Amino acid sequence: MRYTVLGRSGLRVSELALGTVTFGEDWGWGAPKDTSARILDLYEEAGGNFLDTADHYTGGTSEEYLGEMLRGSRRDRFVIGTKFTLQTDLGDVNSAGNSRKNLVSSIEASLRRLRTDRIDLLWVHAHDTLMPVPELMRALDDQVRLGKVLHVGASNWPAWEVAQANTLAELRGWSPFVGLQIRYNLLERAAERDLLPMARQFDVPVLAWGALAEGRLTGKYLNGGGQGRLTVQPREHSMAGGDDLVVEVGKVAAEGGWTPAQVALAWVRTRPGVVIPLLGATKVEQLRDNLGCTDVALTDDQVARLERAAAFDLGYPHDLLRQDITVRDMYGVQWESIQDRRTTVQRGVADTRYSPLPWA
């Protein structure tokens, strides 16, 4: 497995991350401890070093499993990311949200479960409208200065507030978000409107969760079949439409001798910038199959076919900015002669992805 640099953090992380929401059977569909241990072993043997968990996952069992499995020097070989925000005690209103109180108590609890003295990367699990961004960024920076957290990231945030948070952090000398976790897959490309362009511009690497749409992109749920996470915990955003796309993924897979899961993950890896698929598995065989995505080389034609099948509406203002009359008015009738060679601009005029410009 190859490695990439996680943005401004300087951390060297593997090109595939391992999500551990599947560690533990508390929610009715995860993996028992022995299987979870073998999944982690296989990931490590493949060269993986980037782990993702959360205090909320399987009621804390996910973190507990990792703490037990990573005892001793093994822990130092991994970059461990965990999250806080989601409620962990139904009887405590302050055990949810991004307040400083929940932040501190969540970190202390995660450190105990993980059996470590620091968290390499703390993710804010979701955007909390009740928590002012300046107060949150200051609270996060305090934890970094204490050494309990090394870096911070954002998960499930609007693009404009990530931009606000990192601009504020830069102005005030606080720790910025060094990563962004988003739901992103062939069935869910909404992040291409604003989140992914923002991430590229701010040099914020992306972890793509739900990269297989909870298994839908493997094809196992076609025609009402298959047993898995979605039969136990249905998700509207995973089950609405898209069967034609799932079929196309299968066709591309058959052409290359790959599996549909490998194709879907390989497509995520073709995205501009640093986009790291977040793998999740309840069986060792699933992870072994997913790891094979690094050997998939999609042709330009195959990528184009997948994206046609996964076409979506960019919406306003992007569709307005692509109209011919808008382009002529903004850039002049000579717009086709404009070449932008600035190296500081991360989205060039020849970039066909994540750009609202009609020639890009």
User: Tens of pLDDT along 171-218?
Assistant: 999 999 999 999 999 999 999 999 999 999 999 999 999 999 999 999
Looking up tokens 């599947």 gives 22
- Calculate mean pLDDT across residues 232-244: 66
Question: Which pLDDT band holds residue 332 (cuts at 50, 70, 90)?
Answer: confident
Task: List, in order, residues 6 or more apart from 290 with CB less than 8 Å away.
Answer: 16, 212, 261, 262, 265, 279, 281
Q: Rounded mean pLDDT of the chain?
A: 92
The boundaries of the domain holding residue 339 are: 314-360
The b-or-e profile of 283-313 (16+ CB within 10 A means b, else e) is ebebbebbbbbbebebeeebeebbbebbeee
Check whether 283 has a pLDDT greater than 50: yes
Same domain, 43 and 12: yes
Beta bridge partners of 209: 183
pTM of the prediction? 0.91
Burial class (CB in 10 A: 0-12, 13-18, 19+), 261: buried
**Roughly what angle, to the nearest 10 degrees, separates helices 33-45 and 61-69?**
60
Same domain, 18 and 117: yes
- 286-299: pLDDT as tens digits: 999 999 999 999 99
Same domain, 335 and 279: no
Count of domains forming the chain? 2
Check whether 350 has a pLDDT greater than 50: no
Question: Which pLDDT band holds residue 334 (cuts at 50, 70, 90)?
Answer: confident
Same domain, 293 and 328: no
Question: Which pLDDT band holds residue 340 (cuts at 50, 70, 90)?
Answer: confident
| CATH, residue 270 | 3.20.20.100
Same domain, 248 and 141: yes
pLDDT of res. 323: 87
Q: Is 274 helix (H, G, I), strand (E, B) or coil?
A: coil
Same domain, 245 and 324: no
Pairing of strands 17-19, 275-279: parallel
- Calculate mean pLDDT across residues 107-126: 98
Same domain, 99 and 12: yes
Tell me how long the chain is.
Answer: 360
Same domain, 113 and 83: yes
Q: Work out the angle at residue 84's Cα, subtended by the Cα atoms of residues 70 and 216, and round it to the nearest 5 degrees.
A: 80
| Minimum mean pLDDT range among 97-106, 238-247, 260-269 | 238-247
For 128, phi then psi, to 5°, come to -115, 110
Task: List, in order, residues 6 or more apart from 104 with CB less than 8 Å away.
Answer: 143
Chosen domain end from 292, 309, 326:
309
Q: Is 275 helix (H, G, I), strand (E, B) or coil?
A: strand
Q: How far is Cα 108 from Cα 111, in angstroms, rounded to an integer?
A: 5
pLDDT of res. 90: 95
Name which of 177, 229, 215 is nearest 27 in CA terms: 229
Same domain, 320 and 303: no
Same domain, 303 and 321: no
Active site residues: 57
Same domain, 43 and 111: yes
Same domain, 273 and 318: no
